[in-house]
Amino acid sequence: MKTLEELEAWLEENCYSFQELTIGHHFAPEGIVMERDGNSFNWCYSERGNKRVLKAFDTEQGLVDYAHAQLTADKWYRAHIIAFTFDEEKIKEISSLLEKDKIGYERNDIFNYSRGKRAYRIFVFGSDIKKTEHFKAEYMYV
């Protein structure tokens, strides 16, 4: 890969989540931004409307190589949330379904999310989102 367009296409093909990635036609309200700014190619972080350049490169290839290394090293860039609920029985139910289908997942609970209530979340990674997208209708925000 030599260009941001090629990197973007690779990220799409490999089912990366664009929830926190801005590149090409993908825009995240907060998170990592990969962009060209004049003669500089930047790896940035954006939060609450404030963007900081974390690393600048003289070449597009330099940014692409750096971005690829950073993104492949962290599984959470491939994470897709398929369940968010306050109902522990629902989270056990979807966990059981995923285990039955031998789909890897990570459960990530948030203690004391709202007035003492625990929120339960399930994430799948990469291409497993293609096999589990339908779970969102039943297990997101229930």
Ordered structural domains, the chain, with CATH: 4-73 (no CATH), 78-139 (3.30.70)
* Cut 0.75: pTM above it: yes
Residue 142's pLDDT is: 66
Residue 115's pLDDT is: 85
Q: Give the dihedral sign, CA 129/134/138/142.
A: positive
Beta strand 117-125 pairing with 106-107: antiparallel
Q: CA dihedral defined by 102, 106, 110, 114, rounded to 10 degrees?
A: -50
Per-10-residue mean pLDDT, the chain, length 142: 98 97 96 97 96 98 98 97 96 97 97 91 97 94 76
